[in-house]
Amino acid sequence: MSGLLDRRLLLVTGKGGVGKSTVAASLSLRLASAGLRTLLCEVNAGRRLGRMLGHPEEGPDVRLLEPNLSMVDLEPDASMREYVLSKIRLERVYRAVFENRMVRYFLRFIPALAETVMLGKVMWHLRQWPDAPGGFDRIVMDLPATGHALTLLGVPQSLVSTLPSGPMSTEAGWMYDLLTDPVVTSAVLVSLPEELPVNETLDLAQTLRAGLKVRVGAVVLNQSVPSRFGAADRAALSGRPGLSALVEAYEEDAQHTEESVERLRALDAPLVQLPRLVTPELGRGELVSLGDMLAEGLR
């Protein structure tokens, strides 16, 4: 697995409802199966990924789920606690100060504090050598939908450009360096073969590249529909209106897929199409298959 999958940090994002979590989970399973120690990060999103992978709900602490695959659900309070303790190393001081009700109230008004500590937790693991304690070969972040994802990823840049020299500026600086290093980090943009998700994907790529200096490593067109029925097939169904309507609807979706592919190719990034799956519930077997398709498409 080369190219995108050589990057240590993969940022999976896109418009809400396009299948970001499915892509993040599939990528993580594929990386882990290749023998790479992988950390799958969910960002304050209800702990869905653990259940999707057939495991109990995960919490805010990094936990090994299965060989080579660990997971964490990033939550602001837990990330703040871990960050502060990494600096002062005294539990009693943390409890006395940061668990004080008034202090917690005022902390809520510090701009981007929650995003800083959540992103900082991930970047700390990224900063470790893979063979060091807390280090991973690969980290996959299942980011929130576009707007919140851009806010989260833009925090280090904003802090570096606005804060005077000091500890917070230093922390933001090394996070920004890792996020913008194309050898380390790549974004994976997920879309659907529909006009609005494709429009948002094109805008998102522009903002990541020009605004945040984050490399776009790949675009995934989820729920793609290939054309299967030609004019002769449809003519043969002219006397069967029910089947004819189904075929026409299918071919309309296939046309949308083709148009979406053409538009997304303008991004000049590897484009992988994942098929529309007809299944009552997406299970581990489907995720493994999708991960194989992603790896094949990103070679």
Q: Tokens standing for 72?
A: 């964490």
Alpha-carbon dihedral 274, 145, 180, 140, rounded to 10 degrees: -60
- Please give the CATH architecture assigned to the domain spanning 3-297: 3-Layer(aba) Sandwich (3.40)
pLDDT in tens, 143-177: 989 998 998 899 888 878 877 787 777 888 998 99
- Say whether pLDDT at 105 is over 50: no
The CB-side HSE value for 255 (13 A sphere, CA atoms) comes to 8
User: E strand or H helix at 9, and its extent?
Assistant: strand 9-14
- Give phi and psi for 60, each to the nearest 5: -80, 0
**CB-based burial, 194-232: b 16+ in 10 Å, e otherwise:** beebbebbbebbeebeeebebbbbbbbbbbbbeeeeeee
- Say whether pLDDT at 227 is over 90: no
Using only C-alpha atoms, the chain has a radius of gyration, in whole angstroms, of 21
**pTM greater than 0.75 (yes/no):** yes
Residue 90, pLDDT score: 45
User: E strand or H helix at 202, and its extent?
Assistant: helix 195-206
Phi-psi region of 229 (alpha: psi -120 to 50; beta: other; left: phi over 0): beta
CA distance 293 to 290: 5
Residue 127, pLDDT score: 87
114, burial (CB in 10 Å: exposed 0-12, middle 13-18, buried 19+): buried
Which one, of 59, 44, 52, 63, lies nearest residue 27 by Cα? 52
Q: Tokens standing for 205?
A: 């790529």
- Give phi and psi for 219, each to the nearest 5: -120, 135
pLDDT in tens, 80-104: 555 654 554 444 544 544 444 543 4
Are the CB atoms for 247 and 237 separated by under 8 Å?
yes
Q: Coil, strand or helix: which one is 141?
A: strand
Which one, of 220, 211, 216, 194, lies nearest residue 154 by Cα? 211
Question: Running DSSP on this structure, what letter comes out for residue 207?
Answer: I
